[in-house]
Chain A
Amino acid sequence: MSLITYREALSAALWEEMERDENVFLIGEDIGLGGGAFYVTKGFQQRFGRDRVVDAPLSEAGFTGAAIGAALTGMRPVVEYQFADFVTETFKMIVDFAAGNHYRRMGPVPIVFRLPAAALVSGGPYHSQNPEIWFFGTPGLKIAAPATAYDAKGMLKQAIRDDNPVIFIEYKKFYSYRPEDLPAPLRIEVPEGDYTVPFGQARTLREGEDLTLLTFGTTVLEALEAAQVLESEGVSVEVIDLRTLVPLDKEAILASVRKTGKLLILHEARKRGGVGGELAAIVAEEVFEHLDAPIRRVGAAESPVPLSPPLEKAYLPSTAKVVEALRELAAF
């Protein structure tokens, strides 16, 4: 057990899975010779060779399709995009071919799409987006969104062993965070050997009685900070990290809302079309009688992601916005 970075956790998962199963291979731009845009696969090509760490031409649709074709014949490809935003090049491959394949009775497609996502210091409109909003409505895709190094390693291993296509969202912001700088609930030691984190199990980052705060991805940070602020004001907030969006841990969500009676949903993506809308609908449909206040959501501004620092700051959900929403809910 040790404290390692999110990036180191991802690298360890890939390395161990490649050692374990020769059908696992990596494909993407600059991942071999260059070690990847974010150096997650640094040194891999030296160890595993050019056949298993494939430097693809600049052609996301082409190499995504090729990876899917390889998966059809029993390989277990892990596809890396330099930035999650570039996955838009590949929609037909993922949404139309891979996602529906098992439903069409044409066999499993065991493949992982690694998407370095979300905002990171003025990435601008094409290097900052939250891709879950594009895939959440497509049957047949699992969506994982690890927020800790522990989950990054265990969930990536789980994704590689899963027989379904997995949209694996990585948070660039977390790659380099030093474990000692993270809030305690996110500072989790990572086992050196093999373990997996099953999909569909949310993690309660902080227990509370008065309010439920559902979140995932980068905004676990704002959620925990805001919960701390509310605690100093005498309000107890339960913070839940969903960890996977498909499958969704509905039971954990409903149980928490039954307990607290109040719900705030927080994510970095915009509210419109965001996953939060579906979460709110599920809660309203299934435990409406337990609600003591209207469901609230906090997300990004309804615009593309702007680049200039003051604009980007205004676009993103902040701890202050979360605190304000929590206070309103507490007072309701």
Chain B
Amino acid sequence: MRAISYAAASEPVRPEELTGLDFHRDLADRYLAIEGLEARWIPIHREGLRPDKETALRLHHLLSLTRAVEESLDSAFRAGHIPGTAFFGRGNEASSVGSAACLRDEEWLVPMHRNCGAHLAKGHPPYSIMAHFFGRADGPSQGRDGNFHVGYRPKRITQLISHIGTMVPIAAGVAWSAKVRRNGQAVLTHIGDGGTSTGDFHEAMNFAAVQKLPLVVVIDNNQYAYKTPPSDQYACPTLALRAPGYGMPGFLIDGTDVLVVREVVSQALDRARRGGGPALIESVSMRLSGHSVYDRYADYADMEKLKLWERERDPVKRYDQFLVEYEVLTPEEIAASHARARAEAEAARDQALKCPFPDPGKVADGVFAE
């Protein structure tokens, strides 16, 4: 049974109905699907999104682990264990987990720097992430880089560079090789609201559409690009409206509901795997912490709005509530899952803090592949 479906869609939305969208209010029980020039609101029937117990536990573990890993990293930063700076994705957990959990093992993930949950969902071990953040020898980059710039090749997760926007063309290239190899794989990438303003984003979307690539692009619109709100970033009511201009379907969804994210992304991935081409999904959340650990959020953010989202759209709390309300898990099972995630993150952190630093004598090793 598919609760979210075109069959249940409303009449086409007139463009003027989209002006002045309030993401908190307008995405509460529906999402927007744009196909061709027609946009429709699709109602969400939560009962239909109810996962089986095993899936529910897995998603819960991943959401909770994402929160726990980032909180452990944050406290490790405060204790002086992270060189440089650190960027986290608090508030973005559902978008990261719900999307990457749809990927098959052999498929590639091209994440951005706030997608800790996507790394975990794809199988990047917390110890490896922690060792990387601490600049230690066991991190995948062996101390050469920091933050979620890291990839994890054993699980087909690419690295990224700080130049936001750059990764969308790279993701298109990964999807291009899947297409010419005809291996039936799709590629998932994430980009932020700020990243959509770059030329690279446009070049990649255009290329993906022209080449009909198996690529699903999730825009994690967390309503701030460093200190810049959407109103200074773009003028369209939703970034999903760009999709028909490129010649691909677009979606605007509540990115704080892991089940909605999972549903829409899995449909888009399936379509891509079948040769249906790329899709653009704007997944809205709220960045619940500063841009980086050094950022003073209160200097520029609308703190009332932020508190509202924190209260009502915290992805971890939301999923807890759903599971209880729909009687998928008991409060005891949920508490136990949180405790497990916390313990796993802390064990990984403690172990990573014991990992040696890389050998300074090898500073210039590995510049070239032999």
Contacts and interface: CB of A to CB of B under 8 A. Distances in A.
Contacts of B223: none
Given A61-B203, A68-B173, A69-B173, A106 B163 contact: no
B88 interface: no
A326 B269 CA distance: 66
A74 interface: yes
B145 A74 contact: no
Given A106-B153, A107-B153, A163-B369, A57 B177 contact: no
Interface string A49-73: 0011010110101111111111111
A106 B207 CA distance: 25
Contacts of B141: 104-106
A79 B282 CA distance: 32
B200 A65 contact: yes
A102 interface: yes
Contacts of A101: 159
A72 B369 contact: no
Contact of B367 (A25, A66, A102, A163): A102
B244 interface: no
Contacts of A63: 169, 203, 207
B289 interface: no
B28 interface: no
Contact of B180 (A51, A71, A104, A164): A51
B367 A97 contact: no
A71 B173 CA distance: 8
Nearest to A102: B369
B161 to A, nearest CB: 5
A92 B142 contact: no
Interface string A81-114: 0000000000011001100011111111010000
A66 B167 CA distance: 9
Contacts of B145: 104
Given A65-B173, A105-B141, A25 B180 contact: yes
A59 B207 contact: yes
B174 A70 contact: yes
A93 B366 contact: no
Interface residues of A, number: 40
A97 B170 contact: yes
B48 interface: no
Given A59-B203, A105-B140, A69 B172 contact: yes
B108 interface: yes
Contact of B203 (A57, A70, A102, A107): A57
Contacts of A183: none
A66 B158 CA distance: 13
Interface residues of B, number: 45
Given A69-B169, A92-B161, A59 B177 contact: no
A139 interface: yes
Contacts of B108: 73
Interface string A104-139: 111110100000000000000000000000000001
B151 interface: yes
Contact of A65 (B159, B172, B180, B367): B172
B177 A69 contact: yes
Contact of B366 (A68, A92, A105): A105
A124 to B, nearest CB: 24
B45 interface: no
A142 B369 CA distance: 11
Interface in B185-237: 199-200, 202-204, 206-207, 210-211
Nearest to A65: B169
Given A57-B210, A106-B140, A66 B166 contact: no
B367 A73 contact: no
Q: Indicate the member of A25, A72, A139 with the most B CB atoms within 10 Å.
A: A72
B53 interface: no
B71 to A, nearest CB: 26
B176 interface: yes
Interface in A182-216: none
Contacts of B370: 163
Interface in B306-340: none
Nearest to B187: A69
B294 interface: no
A3 B108 CA distance: 46
Given A92-B161, A140-B368, A73 B174 contact: yes
A321 B215 CA distance: 55
Interface in B335-367: 366-367
B46 interface: no
Contact of B207 (A62, A103, A107, A163): A62
Contacts of B175: 69
Contacts of A140: 367-368
Nearest to A69: B173
Given A65-B203, A106-B151, 19 more contacts: A25-B180, A51-B180, A54-B211, A59-B203, A64-B169, A65-B200, A65-B204, A66-B169, A69-B177, A92-B161, A92-B163, A101-B159, A102-B367, A104-B145, A104-B149, A106-B150, A106-B153, A108-B369, A140-B367
15 contacts: A25-B180, A54-B211, A57-B207, A57-B210, A61-B169, A65-B166, A65-B172, A66-B169, A66-B207, A73-B177, A73-B178, A74-B177, A104-B149, A105-B141, A106-B151
Q: Which 10 A-B pairs have the closest CB atoms?
A: A69-B173, A65-B169, A62-B203, A66-B173, A59-B203, A163-B369, A108-B369, A69-B170, A69-B174, A70-B173
